Structure formats: structure tokens, C-alpha cells
Structure 1
Amino acid sequence: MDQVNFDRLRAMAQHIGQNAAPVPLANRYVEYWYGAAFEVLGVRCAVSLEEIRKIVDVTPTVPIPGVKRWVRGLANIGGRLLSIADFSSFLSGGEQTSNGKQAFIVSGRGIHTGLLIDANFGGVRFPKNELRTDVAVAQQLQPYVSGVYTAEDGDYAVFSIERLLNDTDFSQAGIAVNN
């Protein structure tokens, strides 16, 4: 490039820089919490995307002898046998069961299982700083909920898979047999 053309480009760049509108600054940076929304026991909930492996359609299950009644059975999910837990039945002490067709696959503490949910509403995001801890949730969910996000379509209880997996009632699904 010859000097004349280079000088023209430099002059144009200076002109643009002097006459351009300033770049608008964001008023504030918003950090978001990302989750998957679902329903259990008639309550809209959300679980962090970091706590679930995937959401799957549940195939027919094969019953497992010697387990609590909320364990639906084994299902072939992607070529792997997984136990499927009826989330509604577990939380309600067997009073309600789920008719859902999808499950969250979760892992932790040596447990790899599917949690059958009543309905799947897809992905959600909420500003992290808007998590509220002063909103009441259903009694069955209280031990597993860390707070509530409010959206235009209602409240979403933030469900903790870690708390669920740490619950011995859930992690010890086998029924003790007395000899």
C-alpha cells in the first residue's frame, strides 16, 4: 500500500473516532443462574443444570425386588441400565405417583439414577441475586429447596439434587429384610 492511501485510511479512522457515538456502558452486570424447570407434586421447581446429567424419555421399567415402593425399577437408558425413582412418590411418602414420561439423570455419592418428574418445562434462567429465601414451599420439598425464583409465570422452587442424594431415606432405597 502506498503512503497516500495509508494516510487516507488513517485520516478516515481519526474522523470516525472523533465523530462516533460513544459505546453505551451497561448499567450493571447481571450474573444468571441456569436451570431446568419441572413440576413435581403440583409445584414448579427448577434444578441447576450443573446438577443433572441429562433429561431423558423413560422407557418401560423392570421391577426390582427388595426396594422401596417409590423405586419404579430398571430402565434401559442409552444402553445403560438405570434405576428410576418416582420423585413424586418419594416426596409424598407414597401418597402420590407420577404419570410423567421424562426423568432427570443425576449422579453423585456413588448414586447414578433417574428421577421421574411430572412435567418438564425446559430451560430457565434467573438473575442470581433474585433468589429469595423468604417464600414458603410445600412441606415435602422444604428439606431440598434452597430458595425461590419468581418469574412472570410464577414461582420456581430451586431444588438441590445434592441435598436429595445426601438424604439417607433416598440413598438407601433397599428394604431391610428380617430373617
Structure 2
Amino acid sequence: MSTDAFQTLRVLSQQVIDFAEPVPATQELIQNWHGAAFDVLGTRCVISADETRMIVDLGDTIPLPGVKHWVRGLANVGGRVVAISDLTSFLSGGAKTSGGKQALIVNGRGIHTGLMIEQSYGGVRLSTEQLRTDIQVADELQPYISGVFSTNDGDYALFDTSKLLIDANFTEASVITSS
């Protein structure tokens, strides 16, 4: 390599250093949360995409004898038999029922079930920075809420199905007692 070529590379190297833009400041990574939004007891809720298999339009259900008032029956969902429960009726102790015809199909703790909801808003993406634990929700919902996403569009209560699926009041749906 000739001295002139080496000197040219040295000049170019210095020009790159002299005229280079500064390294941008480190940007904070904002974590997004994904889920489905729905109404229950007049409260807009969200459920994690990890806990929801799908939102379905419900047809007729086959009633089951000997179960609590909020168990609507069995439905064929995608070729699979799924127990459907009226979430509004369960949470309100039967004082209200869901007028909706949709269900969230959830799976957790080995339980595959459908939760009848009042209305679905489809998928949502929220920032985890918007999640707060100091916002109160209706007393009936409180045991199943893990926080509230506070957004410009309003609040979304984070419904935690794992809390519902360990609640004996929900999992023990039979009214028949053994003797």
C-alpha cells in the first residue's frame, strides 16, 4: 500500500470522526400488554391474550341439571364441548344476567370454559406503564382484578382468570349434595 493511499484513509477516518452524528440517547423500552376488552357489570375489563383462546358468538346452549344459576350449559365451540357460565350472573350473585351473546373461551389450571360477557370490544394493546393498582372497581369484581389500565380512552380493569379459576364458588358449580 502506498503512503498516499494510507494518508487518504487516515484523512477519511478523521473526517468520519469529525462529522459523525452523536449516538442517540438510550430510549426507554415501553412494554406493551395484549389482550381482549369486554364489558361485565357495566365495567370495561381486559383479559390477557395468554388466558383467552378466542371470543365466540354463542348459539344455543344445552342446559345442565343440578348446577348453579349462572351455569348456562354446554356449547359446541369449534368442535369442542365447552361449559358456558354467565359471568355477570356469577359476579352479581344472580341479581343480574348477561344480555350478551358472546363468550370468552379461557383455559387455565386444566379448566377449559366459556365466560358469557355483556359485550366484546376485541383485541387491545396497552402500555404496562398505564397499569395502576390504586383505582377501585365494583366490589363484585374486586377479587378478580389485578389492576386498572388508565388510558386516554378511559379505564380498563385487568380481569385475572387465574383468580376466578381457583375460586371454589366458581369451580364447585354443582348444587347437588352427596349424602
- For the superposition of Structure 1 and Structure 2, which TM-score range results when normalised by the shorter chain? 0.7 to 0.9
Q: Distance in 2 between matches of 1:142 and 1:134?
A: 12
In the alignment, structure 1 residue 44 sits paired with structure 2 residue 74: no
Q: CA RMSD in A?
A: 2.3
Where 1:135 maps in the other structure, the secondary structure is coil
Q: In the alignment, which residue of structure 1 is the partner of 2:145?
A: 145
Contact 2:91–2:141, Cα closer than 8 Å, also in 1: yes
- Displacement of 1:55: 1.1
State the match for 2:132 in structure 1: 132
2:58 partner amino acid: V
Q: Could you tell me how far 1:58 is from its partner in structure 2?
A: 1.0
Q: Which residue of structure 2 lines up, in the alignment, with residue 154 of structure 1? A: 154
Equivalent positions of 1:25-40 (< 5 A) are: 27-40=27-40
1:35-89 per-residue CA deviation (whole Å, 9 max, x = no partner) reads: 1110001000001101111111112111100000100111111111111100100
Deviation digits for residues 118-162 of structure 1 (CA, Å, limit 9, x no counterpart): 011111122213211110100000000010001122111000000
Q: How does 1:60-79 map to 2 (within 5 A)?
A: 60-79=60-79
Q: What is the percentage of aligned positions where both structures have the same residue?
A: 54
Q: Helix, strand or coil for the counterpart of 1:53?
A: strand
TM-score by length of 1: 0.84
Where does residue 174 of structure 2 map in the other structure?
Answer: 174
Partner of 2:111: 111
Instruction: Provide closer, same or farther for how the CA distance between residues 17 and 121 of structure 1 changes in structure 2, counting only shifts above 3 A.
Output: farther
Q: Is the 8 A contact 1:111 1:171 kept in 2?
A: no
**Aligned residues between the structures:** 169
Q: When the two structures are superposed, what TM-score results if normalisation uses the length of structure 2?
A: 0.84
Q: Does 1:123 align with 2:123?
A: yes
Instruction: Give, in whole Å, the separation in 1 of the partners of 2:17 and 2:50.
Output: 44
Question: Is 1:95–2:95 an aligned residue pair?
Answer: yes
Distance 1:71 1:17, change over 3 A: farther
SS at match of 1:90: helix
Aligned CA distance change for structure 1 residues 163 and 22 (closer, same or farther; 3 Å): same
Matched-pair contact (CA < 8 Å) for 2:130–2:151: no
Query: Could you say if the C-alpha distance between residues 18 and 34 of structure 1 is closer, same or farther in structure 2, counting changes exceeding 3 Å?
Result: farther
Aligned position for 2:55:
55
Deviation at 1:169, TM superposition (A): 0.4
Cα distance, 1:38–1:18 mapped onto 2, change above 3 Å: farther
For residue 132 of structure 2, give the secondary structure of its aligned residue in structure 1. Answer: coil
Distance 1:18 1:59, change over 3 A: farther
Where does the alignment leave 5 or more consecutive residues of structure 1 unmatched?
A: 1-14
